[in-house]
Amino acid sequence: MNQDRLVPLMRHLALEAGDRIMQVYERPDFEVRSKGDASPVTEADEAADAVISAGLRSAFPDVPLITEEQGESHALSARSFLIVDPLDGTKEFVQRRGDFTVNIAYVQDGIPVSGVVYAPAQGRLFYTLPDGTSVEEAGPFDKTAPGPVRPIRVSRPDNAALMVVASKSHRDQATDDYISRYAVRDMKSAGSSLKFCLVATGEADLYPRLGRTMEWDTAAGDAVLRGAGGHVVRFDDHTPLAYGKPGWDNPFFIAYAPGTELRK
């Protein structure tokens, strides 16, 4: 994969999709439907998916593309592929909480090596550069030319006073019980893949997820976190989270800054 070509395209498509999403978000009302798994979907999800898919397929027609909104793509099997969640955090979108993101990633041999996470309502844009390192770009965002960027890096955690980030819509007792095993200085809630990015920027040290996710939910944020020096591991055995699994389901996982003393 030509990263010098891929990275600017992913950035451009994420911004374009963000514009489509915000056009719907800023309306006084919009339709919300339920998919087969009872999760919500809106025309914003579908419009963003159409923009991203068309752009990626035009530029990389031979690379498998998996997207949340295109069920037929879920039957694909590949070790290297593009993977998209055009609107991660639809519940946050519907409830107008702003914590939703556009996610595009490239997975190579089971590892997310490049990705972009764009939170249009918050004006935050994170992505990996062609060399694999991660940056946050300052807005306002020009689709044709990147603005000022700053390298992002995970924190040096203090295990006696950790900052933890957890899901806003999927927090449960099991998650709280697990977090209670740590010495926590403070905790914040966030929606969508923003949680990975908060660990990547050093705004949090630890993000445990004890709930169902799919690979398109995590690949872009995982890539950004890896590029900032962080890790994402399975909850059960602390081995790296791998991609290209049958059905695209993830196990429970933990995202963290190195130096965090993980608990079982």
CATH of the domain at 53: 3.30.540.10
Query: Residue 190 to residues 169, 187, 203, 204: CA-CA distances in angstroms?
Result: 8, 10, 12, 11
The string of pLDDT tens digits covering residues 48-61 is 999 999 999 999 99
For CA atoms 215, 219, 221, 227, the dihedral sign is positive
What percent of the chain has pLDDT above 90?
75
CATH of the domain at 201: 3.40.190.80
User: Are 146 and 21 part of one and the same domain?
Assistant: yes
The pLDDT of residue 76 is 75
User: Are 119 and 26 part of one and the same domain?
Assistant: yes
User: Are 62 and 186 part of one and the same domain?
Assistant: no
The string of pLDDT tens digits covering residues 62-93 is 999 999 877 666 767 778 999 999 999 888 88
Number of C-beta neighbours around residue 64 at 10 A: 16
- Phi and psi at 108, nearest 5°, equal -125, 120
User: Are 144 and 223 part of one and the same domain?
Assistant: no
